[in-house]
């Protein structure tokens, strides 16, 4: 559902960075990892709960087969990557899910808590552990979290808990950036609009007609391509983004103008 013409170049992360991408099995995670593989000379880790990354066998990607159910799990993912890569210079946290597809007025307590866990608590525990290692290394670092533009507009009836959690992510970006700055650790986020990554179909059960109606609300009249989102994440890993911290960068196609 995109009419995106891909440029003939990709941004590059700083050479030699040890980058862990969590949520690497989703559409956006795959796009970020593929773009890093295409243009950057880095050590790349991919967390996915179900299967290895296809480039794990040739050594291009460190595949970490752990799910997130607790703080301990999140700590374990970071520590495993640090052990296998020899350290961590960047965390790209793409964890995100909607665990209740109905109206927020009907959401059970368990589903509410699951939404808070996966979209806010787990990214916090991951980022906190990554920052601890980065401080110990004394070589700076990058932490990038994913948000949603709907978080600053109250979300929708169906995605309200997700939007609330992602609004918390914005607070986390600012607070962690303040903590990380004296150590050269930059913390930022990307505030995503409607990206054609499969998220809406997977978690909101939206069919093509519903997606077309959603896209018609966007001034540019198309969804964002996952590679466009990946390029922004990779830019934030590059040397050109060394003076950006504590920011949520929107990628929305003009949504909500």
pTM for this model (two decimals): 0.93
pLDDT digits (tens, 9 = 90+) for 138-165: 999 999 999 999 899 998 898 899 999 9
Domains of the chain and any CATH numbers: 18-251 (3.40.50.720)
Q: What confidence score (pLDDT) does residue 253 get?
A: 93
Q: What is the mean pLDDT of the chain?
A: 91
Exposure letters 140-172 (e unless 16+ CB within 10 A, then b): ebbbbbbbbbbbbeebeebbbbbbbbbbbbbeb
> What CA–CA distance (Å, rounded) separates 92 from 21?
5
Cα separation, 68 vs 256, whole angstroms:
33
Q: What angle (nearest 5°) sits at the alpha carbon of residue 112, between those of residues 146 and 74?
A: 50
Residue 51 has pLDDT above 80, yes or no: no
* Mean pLDDT across 73-86: 97
Mean of pLDDT values over 183-189: 98
Q: Per-residue pLDDT for 64 more than 50? A: yes
Q: What is the pLDDT of residues 13-33, one digit of tens each?
A: 999 999 999 998 788 999 999
């Amino acid at each position: 559902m995109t009419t995106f013409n891909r440029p003939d170049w990709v941004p590059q992360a700083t050479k030699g960075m040890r980058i862990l991408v969590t949520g690497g099995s989703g559409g956006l995670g795959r796009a970020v990892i593929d773009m890093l593989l295409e243009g950057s000379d880095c050590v790349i880790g991919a967390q996915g709960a179900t299967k290895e990354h296809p480039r794990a066998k040739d050594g291009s990607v460190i595949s970490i087969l752990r799910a997130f159910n607790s703080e301990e799990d999140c700590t374990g993912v970071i520590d495993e990557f640090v052990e296998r890569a020899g350290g961590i210079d960047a965390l790209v946290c793409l964890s995100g899910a909607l665990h209740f597809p109905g109206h927020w007025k009907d959401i059970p307590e368990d589903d509410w808590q699951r939404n808070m866990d996966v979209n806010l608590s787990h990214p916090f525990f991951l980022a906190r552990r990554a920052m601890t290692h980065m401080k110990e290394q004394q070589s700076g670092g990058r932490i990038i979290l994913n948000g949603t533009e709907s978080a600053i507009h109250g979300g929708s009836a169906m995605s309200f808990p997700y939007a609330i959690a992602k609004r918390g992510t914005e607070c986390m970006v600012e607070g962690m950036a303040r903590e990380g700055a004296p150590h050269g650790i930059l913390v930022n986020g990307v505030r995503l609009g409607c990206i054609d990554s499969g998220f809406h179909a997977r978690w909101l059960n939206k069919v093509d007609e519903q997606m077309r109606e959603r896209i018609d609300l966007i001034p540019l009249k198309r969804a964002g391509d996952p590679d466009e989102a990946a390029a922004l994440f990779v830019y934030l890993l590059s040397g050109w983004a060394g003076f950006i911290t504590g920011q949520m960068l929107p990628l929305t196609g003009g949504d909500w103008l």
